[in-house]
Amino acid sequence: MKKLLVAAIISLSSITTVALAEIKVGIILGFTGPIESLTPAMRDGARLAFLEASNSGNLLDGETLTIMEADSTCVDSAAATAAAEQMVADGVAAIMGADCSGVTGAINANVAVPNGVLMVSPSATSPGLSKVADNGTFWRTAPSDAMGGKVLANLALKRGIESIAVTYTNNDYGKGLAEVFEASFAAGGGTITASASHEDGKADYSSEVGVLASAGGDALLVIGYIDDGGKGMIEASLDSGAFDLFVLSDGMIGQSIVDNIGADLEGSFGSMPGAISKGSAKFGELAAANGMDGSAPYVGESYDAAAIIALAIQAGGSADRKSILSNILKVSNAPGIIINPGQLSYGLQMLADGKDIDYQGATDVEFNVFGDAAGAFKELEVSGGGFVTIGAL
């Protein structure tokens, strides 16, 4: 179990110490690419936590955080790796990100592991990331699709969907989620009429839709990206009349898809990670007070990822990379004083006083031995021109 190997990190010769005079932390997200409409809010969620800790006066006796940002593109692993390499060269102590599973895996393997840098992703959900060899560098506040696929399949069955066609983006995220969904949907008595990948970046998806339409189904499951191929598959389906009800993966949930598709998306539904709890309510209040929508996709997970980084710095009394890696579990799992959004100053002070804390945050954080969040999920439906949260799943 890879998280049990954290102690071995202290011997890595490539780890560097970041001077306390300026603690640099990184945010790397897909500001361009297929989820670019989602990432500004995710960035703002992470910044909110970093600034809350930095402005508290309690971080390492008054030290502050300098935030560096970079573009993962979501899909270009070479570009994402180069951006992360520059961050590390510039001295970041830890990284909040990346976002999409493929680029996240590339950054972890090529940058985080060789340099002993903690990265906490708010949204990389591929099941394959659970068991990558990482020496404890990779963690995520979003649950794995190994859980998410089952949740989505159960939701579709609960909604009365008996047969469904599946389209998925042709990458680690799409393949992993489709595989889990299909197995779970079939195990629950549903029928997969057809399953086929789609490539992002195309202008026309009519041929892909045609293949799926010939097999039929009560609905089309779209596992993809809100600003790219997933949106294209929905548009082509509606243009041809092939499907008029869509089950949406987490990567397809966000206001921009409703704005682009319009009333034809009414009634479509899906699931995404997110808690409905005391912590999530507090985060909603905190976000609103800062002019943000706390219910936006992966914003709470982004806040939590950044908060955990700041708390891990405090727990070890150092912004040294190996110290941060060694203290992430200490601040994020029970037992300890529960810390919720807006309470980072208190959490930092408790750590300074030698107390144990249990950061629960916006998404009820609790890590398993693979560094995956146990996770909670929400059911959402398009209604009245936007996504409405129906309840917890």
pLDDT tens-digit profile of 152-162?
A: 999 999 999 99
Indicate whether 9 pLDDT > 90.
Answer: no
Evaluate if residue 2 carries a pLDDT over 70: no
CA atoms within 13 A on the CB side of 70: 23
Residues composing the chain: 393
The pLDDT-based confidence of 375 (bands split at 50, 70, 90) is confident
List where CATH 3.40.50.2300 sits in the chain. Answer: 2-143+277-363, 146-274+377-392
Give yes or no for residue 123 having a pLDDT over 60: yes
Q: Is 163 exposed, middle or buried (0-12, 13-18, 19+ CB in 10 A)?
A: middle
- Distance between CA atoms of residues 317 and 140, nearest Å: 23
Report the top-level CATH class of 146-274+377-392: alpha beta
Residue ranges of alpha helices (H) inside the chain are 39-54, 77-89, 101-107, 113-115, 145-158, 172-187, 206-215, 229-240, 255-261, 278-289, 299-316, 321-332, 344-352
Instruction: Give yes or no for a contact between 258 and 382, defined as CB atoms under 8 angstroms apart.
Output: yes
CA nearest neighbour of 250 among 299, 199, 201, 310: 299
Is 0.85 surpassed by the pTM of this model?
A: yes
Supply the pLDDT for residue 16.
34
- pLDDT exceeds cutoff 60 at 125: yes
**What is the Cα–Cα distance from 149 to 132, expressed in whole angstroms?**
20
Residue with tokens 């219910």: 295
Give 215-245 pLDDT, tens digit per residue. 999 999 999 999 999 999 999 999 999 999 9
Decide: helix, strand or coil at residue 170: coil
Does residue 13 register a pLDDT over 60? no
* Residues 42, 227, 32: CA angle, nearest 5 degrees: 60
Asked if pLDDT for residue 372 goes beyond 50, the answer is yes
**pLDDT tens string 173-194:** 999 999 999 999 999 999 999 9
Residue 21 has pLDDT above 80, yes or no: no
Calculate what percentage of the chain has a pLDDT beyond 90: 93
Contact 98, 124 (CB under 8 A): yes
**Spatial distance between the Cα atoms of 316 and 320, rounded to a whole number of angstroms:** 9
14 pLDDT above the threshold of 50: no
Q: What pLDDT is stored for residue 374 in this prediction?
A: 87
* Structure-block tokens of residue 151: 């949740």
Beta bridge partners of 359: 339
Given a contact cutoff of 8 angstroms between Cβ atoms, the answer to whether 258 and 37 are in contact is no
Distance CA 62, CA 349 (A): 11
Q: Which CATH architecture has domain 2-143+277-363?
A: 3-Layer(aba) Sandwich (3.40)
- Separation between Cα atoms, residue 202 and residue 216, nearest integer Å: 23
Res. 287: pLDDT tops 60: yes
Cα 169 to its chain centre, rounded Å, is: 17
